[in-house]
């Protein structure tokens, strides 16, 4: 009998491991592992965990219609999973395990341990690469992994042949159902707490995710490059949570673009580039595992002396920095469990540069709150902003949040939506209210001087040789 184990791939279509597991027609069980210890260690947000449980409940019936029952296994630590999977296999007479590869360090270590146990117990473990292109197959002209995005993206685009973009079929229906499926537990029963956050703006099925993708490509993608940085507009695909839990794949997204055009329009090209950025950060995680261990991609920055300033960090988390665009962005995150990408860069750079607070604290806070939290993308984005990462922003290039606000939220529409104290703020002060206006509207002073803190950051980064 075969076993397929879900990870961040809660879909039926274009699921290589699931399709391969269905071919032998000797019975197939799908397994989902609930691991609260791993969730806490990795900082998975409650919003993302709720979305995954809802998506799991939605995929249950399509699987059952294929005679593929879904079972739920509870674990307490990612290091315990291999022996618990082995116990499950013995109980259900499993002889073959199929799963899609994951690249963060803990997941790779778990799979190595699982492979060792399988070899000792005559179980065949088959792992499939679920990325757009297998990371092992993408190298520079010297045969080494890329460290810079632009040449990597050019290489990827050359490799996007019809064969590479061929999607996997749906799994074959099994001749018979081997065992009864499990009920999908409620969020409260699983995580011992209520979480009443609404996920109405986030697809929970691959069908709804595919529909949103199709609508975006048909109606909005042509203006994506011009409008993507304006946070008050809904000008992005709003599919990041679907990518994060695997309702759709990069391959499906690119195919949708290419089916509507040749992908060379400015909006189409820019959006596909963002898909390739996601692939790039997973590629970096695969080839450079130290980024999964709380280390800077550039090792010299592990020597950097970050400031211990818990008070400023808390004000940053709460959106009480006295800088309207930063506060609006952080409140958007806290209230909606999502943040516009331009604002992620602004807030990350403000924390790591103007405040000189360790980027890892911000990285963790984002993961603990984002409904679309993806380790590779989140880590890559934070290290880019902090100038410690691969192909990072130069340390002397520091966003001024006020000029960023003036450029991308010129009328303050986004700010006023999330910082209600400033609704009555004069339009000519919305990006940086005067002392008098701050006092009258009960809005705080800036927690740091932008000019002097910028110079402080440049000096600090210069000191690292």
pLDDT of residue 194: 81
Mean local confidence (pLDDT), 5-24: 96
pLDDT of residue 26: 86
pLDDT of residue 311: 98
Taking a C-beta distance cutoff of 8 angstroms, is the pair 68, 28 a contact?
Answer: yes
Confidence of residue 109 (pLDDT cuts 50, 70, 90): very high
Mean of per-residue pLDDT scores for the chain? 95
Mean local confidence (pLDDT), 389-396: 89
Q: How far is CA 113 from the centre of its chain?
A: 25
Confidence of residue 412 (pLDDT cuts 50, 70, 90): very high
Question: What tokens appear for 313 in the block?
Answer: 């960090």
Q: What is the set of active-site residues?
A: 274, 277, 306, 341, 359, 382
- pLDDT surpasses 80 at 278: yes
- pLDDT surpasses 90 at 392: no
Using alpha carbons, list the distances in angstroms from residue 216 to 219, 277, 414, 451. Answer: 5, 19, 22, 40
Mean local confidence (pLDDT), 265-270: 95
Confidence of residue 10 (pLDDT cuts 50, 70, 90): very high
pLDDT of residue 31: 98
Which segment of 191-200, 271-280, 306-315 scores lowest on mean pLDDT?
Answer: 191-200
Domains and CATH numbers, the chain: 2-130 (3.40.50.620), 132-166+207-287 (1.25.40.80), 299-462 (1.10.579.10)
Using alpha carbons, list the distances in angstroms from residue 402 to 311, 341, 405. Answer: 22, 17, 5
DSSP 101-138: ---SHHHHHHHHHHHHHHHHTT-EEEEE--SSS-GGG-
Taking a C-beta distance cutoff of 8 angstroms, is the pair 102, 90 a contact?
Answer: no
pLDDT of residue 232: 96
- pLDDT surpasses 90 at 50: yes
pTM of the model: 0.96
pLDDT of residue 195: 85
pLDDT of residue 317: 98
Confidence of residue 449 (pLDDT cuts 50, 70, 90): very high
pLDDT of residue 215: 96
pLDDT of residue 157: 95
Mean local confidence (pLDDT), 126-154: 94
Confidence of residue 345 (pLDDT cuts 50, 70, 90): very high
- pLDDT surpasses 80 at 316: yes
Question: What tokens appear for 381 in the block?
Answer: 């984005």
């Amino acid at each position: 009998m075969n076993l397929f184990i879900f990870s961040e791939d809660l879909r039926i279509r274009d699921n290589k491991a699931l399709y391969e597991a269905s071919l032998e027609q000797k019975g197939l069980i799908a397994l989902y592992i609930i691991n609260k210890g791993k969730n806490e260690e990795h900082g998975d947000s409650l919003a993302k965990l709720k979305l995954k449980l809802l998506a799991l409940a939605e995929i249950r019936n399509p699987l059952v219609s294929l005679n593929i029952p879904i079972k739920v296994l509870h674990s307490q630590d990612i290091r315990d999973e291999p022996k618990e999977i082995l116990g499950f296999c013995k109980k259900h007479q499993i002889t073959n395990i199929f799963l899609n590869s994951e690249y963060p360090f803990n997941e790779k270590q778990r799979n190595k341990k699982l492979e060792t146990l399988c070899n000792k117990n005559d179980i065949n473990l088959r792992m499939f690469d679920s990325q757009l292109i297998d990371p092992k197959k993408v190298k520079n002209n010297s045969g080494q992994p890329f460290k810079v995005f632009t040449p990597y993206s050019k290489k990827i685009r050359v490799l996007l042949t019809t064969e590479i973009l061929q999607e996997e079929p749906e799994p074959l229906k099994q001749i018979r159902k081997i065992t009864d499926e499990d009920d999908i537990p409620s969020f409260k029963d699983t995580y011992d707490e209520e979480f009443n956050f609404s996920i109405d703006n986030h697809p929970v099925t691959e069908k709804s995710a595919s529909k949103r993708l199709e609508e975006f490509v048909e109606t909005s993608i042509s203006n994506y490059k011009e409008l993507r940085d304006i946070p008050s507009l809904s000008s992005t695909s709003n599919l990041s949570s679907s990518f994060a839990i695997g309702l759709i794949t990069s391959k499906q997204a690119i195919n949708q673009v290419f089916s509507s055009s040749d992908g060379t329009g400015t909006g189409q090209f820019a959006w596909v580039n963002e898909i390739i950025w996601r692939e790039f950060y997973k590629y970096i995680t695969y080839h450079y595992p130290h980024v999964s261990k709380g280390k800077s991609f550039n090792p010299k920055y592990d020597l950097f002396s970050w400031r211990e300033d818990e008070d400023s960090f808390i004000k940053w988390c709460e959106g009480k920095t006295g800088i309207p665009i930063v506060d609006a962005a952080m409140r958007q995150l806290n209230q909606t469990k999502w943040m516009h990408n331009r604002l992620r860069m602004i807030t990350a750079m403000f924390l790591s540069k103007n405040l000189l607070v360790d980027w890892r604290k911000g990285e963790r806070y984002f993961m603990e709150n984002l409904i679309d939290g993806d380790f590779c993308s989140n880590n890559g984005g934070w290290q880019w902003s902090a100038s410690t990462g691969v192909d990072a922003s130069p340390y002397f290039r520091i966003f001024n949040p006020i000029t960023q606000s003036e450029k991308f939220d010129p009328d303050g529409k986004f700010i006023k939506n999330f910082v209600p104290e400033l609704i009555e703020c004069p339009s000519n002060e919305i990006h940086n209210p005067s002392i008098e206006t701050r006092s009258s509207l009960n809005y705080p002073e800036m927690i740091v001087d932008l000019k002097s803190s910028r110079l402080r950051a440049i000096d600090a980064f210069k000191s690292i040789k």
